[in-house]
Chain A
Amino acid sequence: MLRVSLDRRLAFAALAVMTGLCGCSASQPPSDTAPTFAVTPFGVAASTSGAYTVTMYGPVLGVAQGLNTIEIVVTDEQTKPVDGLTISLVPWMPAMGHGTSATPQIGPQGSGRYVASDVALIMPGEWQLRAALTTDEDAVVTVELP
């Protein structure tokens, strides 16, 4: 299984933030054993106070309608990975005023990485992925589904 190192991912994330490019791209071959994620994040957001940066990576073929598995990378102000968080993720559609019936399951992977499965994006349109990192810190990443 090919995996890109966290440092390389963070470099891509920083590049994406600087250039405003937050689309998905496919650059890794699919794996039969574990989910692999696109090299380029589909979204980056600072937490409420700016203490954390949340970077989200979608599947290699991109975030799509249906159940998705995504990777969430959390770093602090010194861009160091942050482990030990109990993250909850709420997919929300602001224009429609609703969330989803499925509750994302999130598991820590180490090195600041967390994998969220059952991220149900059930219809086309703009979705917010609202990640609660702590009681006071959350971050909102937006993704548009055609």
Chain B
Amino acid sequence: MLSAPHAWGQACCAGASIVTPGRLGLHDFALVGTQLHASALVGSFDAFGNYAPRAPGTVEDDFEQDFYGAIRVFRRGQIALLVPLVETIRRAGTLTDAGGGLGDINLSARYDFLYAGQSRYVPGIGLLAGVTFPTGVPIESASDPLGAGATGIGAFQFNGGIAFEQTFGPWLVAASSIIAARTSRTVGVVSETLSPQLSILTTVAYVTRREIAFALSAAVTYEGDATINGAGADNSERLTVALTGGVTLPISDTWRAQFGLTWNPPLAGINTPAGAGLVWTLVHAWL
């Protein structure tokens, strides 16, 4: 039987997981899960938005295993912890390097003032917050020349956002906006502060009578020019567009699995790599 409240959580987990990676469903008390990512670089956008395929002789394959848990702290609140392991294989010319390890750990929280479907006219509203700790290895500290051993950005990242979602029968429509601020980094003679980053994520999901949820998500992320040694760094703005398609399969009342495809279409982007990848998620929840 279709369980709409359960489906809301599944659909949102399939897409709106930037700040709250392991989101609790309406009736979940806690969950643990793992998410496996594998992606390959296929091209990149330059500072003027021009797309170029990956250069001949170069390879970048990225892998990540996220382990996360979430627990309800108030009736409408939840906190989540995500611990990533990151691996990279990079080849350029005659060099091939591989490396990896613990990435940047993320702690996040979500508070839902109103759930989707509670009101016919007012969508569900949730506040999002998170912090990412620089527990990974920044690229300058990697031991290999191609930096494949890098697993983190080397800075704290603080996130805040707002999420809206509403159900229309078996359909769920969600949109969230998140702003992220990164702390400054100083490496040798270079001190850089990245501009605040704005992300907008939209998701449309459909839930079948067998509680199988299909979700399509589009995420647009933009940040302005960075600041280096106190001066603006021209042409350092970034724009990334990512599309995700996924399906959630309920294994039992407490287990669910998700499969997804991610893609950066070669249509829009600035100063960003473009790739394609697979995502596999397994979640166990306690009701």
Contacts and interface: CB of A to CB of B under 8 A. Distances in A.
Interface of A: 64-67, 88, 90, 92, 94-102, 118, 120, 122-126, 128, 130, 132, 138, 144-146
Contacts of A92: 187, 190, 192, 228
B52 interface: yes
Interface stretch (B1-9, B10-18, B53-61): B53-61
A125 B46 CA distance: 6
Contacts of A130: 189-190
B233 A94 contact: yes
B-side binding surface: helix, strand, loop or mixed?
loop
A125 B271 contact: yes
Interface in B139-166: 139-147, 149-150, 153-155
A100 B146 CA distance: 8
Contacts of B52: 124, 146
A80 B124 CA distance: 69
A91 to B, nearest CB: 10
Interface of B: 43-44, 46-47, 52, 54-55, 58, 60, 90, 92-95, 138-147, 149-150, 153-155, 182, 185, 187-190, 192, 194, 226, 228, 233, 235-238, 271-273
A97 B192 contact: yes
A146 B46 contact: yes
A64 B92 contact: yes
Contacts, number: 120
Contact of B192 (A65, A94, A120, A124): A94
Given A66-B93, A99-B190, A101-B140, 9 more contacts: A90-B187, A92-B228, A97-B153, A98-B154, A101-B139, A101-B143, A125-B273, A126-B46, A146-B52
Q: Which of B54, B140, B149 has the most CB of A within 10 A?
A: B140
Nearest to A138: B189
Given A66-B93, A67-B95, A144-B46, A123 B273 contact: yes
A97 B146 contact: no
B98 to A, nearest CB: 13
A145 B271 CA distance: 11
B245 to A, nearest CB: 26
Contact of B194 (A97, A132, A138): A97
A124 B55 contact: yes
Nearest to A132: B189
Contacts of B192: 92, 94, 97
A7 B138 CA distance: 42
A66 B146 contact: yes
A132 B188 CA distance: 11
Contacts of A66: 58, 92-95, 146
B47 A67 contact: no
Contacts of A67: 92-93, 95, 145
B51 to A, nearest CB: 10
A33 B31 CA distance: 62
13 contacts: A65-B55, A67-B95, A94-B235, A98-B140, A98-B187, A99-B187, A100-B140, A100-B147, A101-B146, A118-B145, A123-B60, A128-B233, A146-B46
